[in-house]
Chains A and B, each alone.
Chain A
């Protein structure tokens, strides 16, 4: 139980207020950094308050652990911006590890005298925590590409996964009714850990934004459950804020992919619809060279750039910034249209473009930019595919039918930088590429943007 001396409780109450303010200030980039500051102060206060607790008999290991954690945390806070998705997944694993270990220790301290309600929340805490540990490690591995990114599916996968979860819940129920069956506890945690692995096995890269949000939500909920176990209001608040945040992001992501929410909740959203290869159509594709692309862009009044994960893979964001500068200098109005699921985690593209020094007021989300696209001269798609696929609007047989997309096809000219005509992640053909107003720019995103920039700057004056 978390102790109740007045000073400690006061530091906790201040911390709670600061945590809520911290998230509130995140509502706008102008106040956001103040939010980090508030969070830090709240955290330091709460930890300092806890250290005053009289029940603490030994500070040595606490000090060693705090220092060690800080030593591990510094490099994790200084990873490259492109590695932020895997870092985030890893931090969900660490958070869940902390919660699961504390839950396990509490179980063995109290067993076999555990109240039924206490055992229920404790089970919830360690099952959610356990599956978040391994699930997040798997996600981080896939994002870091130390594990194969391809979804691995087999027959009856959902059945097996759901079965495992049910067994874990079954053991939890048994422990609630008979807490003396302590030998069952490791099995419950073990199955949760295994379930976490199996849950992520069928997940492919494009589903990562949803998965990371979902794991975020699980991590928060398990921390809130830990708050119930320890009777700590501070933890309940922090856990529910984190859980709510993950939940909202999961809903956003699932809406942006047109997946039902129950589909997301059960984690069974890995089945990548490998669209029937269909007849190999020999439709006309128009392509253009960097010179042609540059002259079309410089003649435009309004340009919307649509970045996707391909831009991040090619590390093209800094070249995109040069393109933005070159066009802006010529008086072209350049904006960015960002789909909620572009990239590998919510907001991924915004961070990469902000890192490349593109002002955030030029980064518009899907709903804002879609109104602009019909009046746009050129929509330039860089490394995005499915989120621009007009089949999602019109073709009821398409696996992504109903998914909200960026209406780039409504722009006067569409230019798509792409390595080849091979279909995107989901294996779905994109009719956008065959439209009359579409020009394909074949090549590596970074190299191609670079050539366009060279054309624009080299030819300035002469090109007119």
Chain B
């Protein structure tokens, strides 16, 4: 049972890596900084694992570590989306920019 989980996870990993390469290769070098802050915010989806740890309260250690982990990940989610949007807002083309 554990092995089938593993195999399934590996399939997902390999497919996601290929999608990641194809999608990210097309990101304009102009936007590499926002790309990094956006992927960072998306990566903080790890918060779902932390929420379950903190909520299940299987042990005090797990609950404490999970709670700290939620704080760390949430700050990335909130901060990452805010700054990405602030950066993207600044990118204007000369056609739309006429004063």
Residue numbers of A with Cβ under 8 A of B are 2-3, 15, 19-20, 22-24, 26-30, 32-33, 35-36, 39-40, 42-43, 46-47, 50-51, 53, 55-59, 61-62, 64-66, 68-70, 72-79, 81, 84, 87-88, 91-92, 94-95, 97-99, 101-102, 104-106, 108-109, 115, 117-118, 212-213, 216, 219-220, 223-224, 226-228, 230-246, 248-249, 252, 338, 340, 345-348, 350-351, 354-355, 357, 359-363, 365
Residue of A nearest to B40 (CB): A91
Is the CB–CB distance between A69 and B94 below 8 Å? no
- Can you list the 4 inter-chain pairs with the closest CB atoms, starting with the nearest? A69-B74, A77-B82, A73-B78, A244-B20
A51 to B54, CA, bound (A): 11
Given the known inter-chain contacts A29-B31, A233-B12, please indicate yes or no for A102 contacting B50, CB distance below 8 A: yes
Residues of the A chain whose Cβ atoms lie less than 8 Å from the Cβ of B81: 36, 39-40, 43, 77
- Interface membership of chain B positions 17-56, coded 1 if the CB is closer than 8 angstroms to chain A and 0 otherwise: 1011101111111111111111111111111111111111
Can you name 6 A-B residue pairings with CB atoms under 8 Å? A20-B23, A23-B42, A27-B26, A69-B71, A76-B78, A354-B87
Residue of B nearest to A244 (CB): B20
A92 to B23, CA, bound (A): 21
Minimum distance in angstroms from A208 CB to a CB of chain B:
12
A108 to B88, CA, bound (A): 42
Is the CB–CB distance between B47 and A57 below 8 Å? no
Is the CB–CB distance between B69 and A102 below 8 Å? yes
Is the CB–CB distance between A15 and B45 below 8 Å? yes
A61 to B50, CA, bound (A): 11
Number of B residues near A (Cβ < 8 Å) is 84
Is the CB–CB distance between B59 and A109 below 8 Å? yes
Residue of B nearest to A29 (CB): B91
A59 to B8, CA, bound (A): 31
A330 to B32, CA, bound (A): 32
Given the known inter-chain contacts A73-B75, A239-B43, please indicate yes or no for A245 contacting B20, CB distance below 8 A: yes
Is the CB–CB distance between B88 and A235 below 8 Å? no
Minimum distance in angstroms from B27 CB to a CB of chain A:
5
Is the CB–CB distance between B83 and A76 below 8 Å? yes
A357 to B93, CA, bound (A): 9
10 more A-B residue pairs beyond the given contacts A26-B27, A87-B37, with a C-beta to C-beta distance below 8 A? A23-B23, A62-B54, A62-B67, A64-B67, A77-B83, A98-B69, A226-B49, A246-B36, A345-B36, A347-B31
Residues of the B chain whose Cβ atoms lie less than 8 Å from the Cβ of A354: 87, 90-92
Minimum distance in angstroms from B1 CB to a CB of chain A:
11
Other-chain contact of B55, A36, A56, A228, A243 (Cβ < 8 Å)? A56
A228 to B12, CA, bound (A): 10
Residues of the B chain whose Cβ atoms lie less than 8 Å from the Cβ of A109: 58-59, 62
Minimum distance in angstroms from B9 CB to a CB of chain A:
5
Residues of the A chain whose Cβ atoms lie less than 8 Å from the Cβ of B37: 84, 87-88, 91
Residues of the B chain whose Cβ atoms lie less than 8 Å from the Cβ of A238: 42-43, 45-46
Is the CB–CB distance between B74 and A65 below 8 Å? yes
Minimum distance in angstroms from A21 CB to a CB of chain B:
9
Residues of the B chain whose Cβ atoms lie less than 8 Å from the Cβ of A28: 28
Given the known inter-chain contacts A62-B54, A350-B33, please indicate yes or no for A77 contacting B86, CB distance below 8 A: yes
Residues of the B chain whose Cβ atoms lie less than 8 Å from the Cβ of A351: 33-34, 87, 90
Residues of the A chain whose Cβ atoms lie less than 8 Å from the Cβ of B54: 58, 61-62, 65
Other-chain contact of B19, A20, A30, A64, A91 (Cβ < 8 Å)? A20
A231 to B52, CA, bound (A): 13
A213 to B35, CA, bound (A): 11
Is the CB–CB distance between B78 and A74 below 8 Å? yes
Other-chain contact of B77, A69, A102, A216, A340 (Cβ < 8 Å)? A69
Residue of B nearest to A229 (CB): B49
Residues of the A chain whose Cβ atoms lie less than 8 Å from the Cβ of B90: 81, 351, 354-355, 357
Minimum distance in angstroms from A209 CB to a CB of chain B:
9
Minimum distance in angstroms from B32 CB to a CB of chain A:
3
- Interface membership of chain B positions 62-75, coded 1 if the CB is closer than 8 angstroms to chain A and 0 otherwise: 11011111111111
Residues of the A chain whose Cβ atoms lie less than 8 Å from the Cβ of B35: 23, 26, 245, 249, 346-347
Residues of the B chain whose Cβ atoms lie less than 8 Å from the Cβ of A350: 29-33, 91
Is the CB–CB distance between B32 and A97 below 8 Å? no
Is the CB–CB distance between B39 and A241 below 8 Å? yes
Residues of the A chain whose Cβ atoms lie less than 8 Å from the Cβ of B80: 73, 77, 91
Residues of the B chain whose Cβ atoms lie less than 8 Å from the Cβ of A115: 2
Is the CB–CB distance between A76 and B75 below 8 Å? yes
Is the CB–CB distance between B31 and A234 below 8 Å? no
Residues of the A chain whose Cβ atoms lie less than 8 Å from the Cβ of B84: 36
Is the CB–CB distance between A78 and B27 below 8 Å? no
Residues of the B chain whose Cβ atoms lie less than 8 Å from the Cβ of A22: 38, 42
Residues of the A chain whose Cβ atoms lie less than 8 Å from the Cβ of B52: 2-3, 50, 53, 55-56
A232 to B36, CA, bound (A): 23
A108 to B19, CA, bound (A): 34
